[in-house]
Amino acid sequence: MKWLERLKQGLKKTHDRLKEQITSVLQGRKLDEELLEELEEVLIGADLGVDTTLEILDRLRERARNERAQAEDAEVVLGWLKEILIEILEPAEGSLALRADGQPTVILVLGVNGSGKTTSIAKIAQRLREQGRSVVLAAGDTFRAAAIEQLEIWAERVGAKLIKHRPGADPGAVAYDAVDHALKHDQDVVLIDTAGRLHTKYNLMEELKKIKRVVEKRLGREIDERLLVLDATVGQNALAQAKTFHEAVPLTGLVITKLDGTAKGGVVLPIAKELQIPIQFIGVGETAEDLREFKAREFVEALLE
Ligand SMILES: Nc1nc2c(ncn2[C@@H]2O[C@H](COP(=O)(O)OP(=O)(O)O)[C@@H](O)[C@H]2O)c(=O)[nH]1
Ligand SMILES: [Mg+2]
């Protein structure tokens, strides 16, 4: 199946709810304050958040003022809405920048338990391997023995080097060894897995900061990418999660997973608008083909087709 088909199928739950409700609000009516109020309810109910929804309504109001004659045509108004969503999402388009100076690109992957860190790492590693790049995986989630085993299976499957220590070991040391290995053996990319849960949130954030410090000391520069994996099924909570992680480790990108498992896919809009952190990948399923770079236009087309 082609990516656009996968994306459409993945976003189906969000699409069905959003498209149906928007269509029923717009049908046979002109764009006035009463309609905007109903639309507000729909958008907030679809996890777009209050701020983003109000911004969308403002922009619609402006379009209606400028192009009054058109404001009675539901198709035209839907077209405006699509364009506005694309305008909000486009600045958030990001992509993984691999280094071109012969140094390994180091990617630290963060996120709460179950958000999809390890499988996203596996998917990214698989794509990189298909492009002929060498990959080192660091089993930095030492909190659970099963997490190390899970990454080990993926490393074998995609043909990546795994660097691991014992369960309970210091994750900073694992990450250090992985980067050290990559530097000594001319490896292209290092992906560092981390724990998403420790005894307390404070411990977790301190541990993540320490991993960053230790790795950067060995590298002699900043870690290239600090990616946060967000599970779309948590809806608005994703924003609070992102803020907490961003304070501990300044993020360079987001991965939004499990868009296929939820009708809350609208949350991508407030994530793009409020966080101002590039969305590098979105995930719409469990296979490697289900994780791709985020593109605003195709996302909106799939969402409101
Ligand atoms: N449906 C769906 N499941 C996903 C997606 N991404 C990850 N998962 C599943 O979410 C579960 C937790 O993923 P995992 O990578 O172990 O999370 P971690 O705890 O953050 O490392 C696994 O069963 C994954 O297969 C996605 O985009 N769609
Ligand atoms: Mg994991």
Residue 141 CB contacts under 8 Å (≥ 6 apart), including other chains: 117, 118, 147, 148, 151, 171, 193, 194, 195, 196
Pocket of ligand 1 contains residue 289 by CB under 6 Å: no
Least confident of 8-17, 20-29, 61-70, 79-88: 61-70
Q: What is the pLDDT of residue 118?
A: 97
The per-residue pLDDT for 262 is 95
Structural domain boundaries in the chain: 3-92, 105-295
What's the pLDDT tens digit per position in 172-226? 999 999 999 999 999 999 999 999 987 788 899 999 999 999 999 999 999 999 9
Phi, psi (degrees; rounded to nearest 5) at 131: -85, 5
- Does domain 3-92 sit in CATH 3.30.1180.20? no
**How far, in Å, is the centroid of ligand 1 from the Cα of 119?**
6
Residues with CB under 5 A from ligand 2 (ion): 117-118, 147
Pairing state between β 279-283 and 291-293? antiparallel
- Which of 258, 284, 289 most suits a substitution to test ligand 1, by most atoms within 8 Å of the C-beta? 258
Whether the CB of 142 sits within 6 Å of ligand 1: no
Q: What is the pLDDT of residue 30?
A: 87
| pLDDT computed for residue 70 by the predictor | 75
CB of 6 shorter than 6 A to ligand 1: no
Q: What CATH number labels 105-295?
A: 3.40.50.300
What are 190's strand-pairing partners? Answer: 106, 136
Per-residue pLDDT tens over the stretch 59-114: 999 999 998 777 778 899 999 999 999 999 999 999 998 999 999 999 999 999 99
Tokens of 138: 């660091």
Q: Could you tell me the pTM of the whole model?
A: 0.96
The residue whose CA is least distant from atom 19 of ligand 1 is 114
pLDDT tens readout for residues 144-178: 899 999 999 999 999 999 999 999 999 999 999 99
**Which residue, judged by its Cα, is nearest atom 25 of ligand 1?**
286
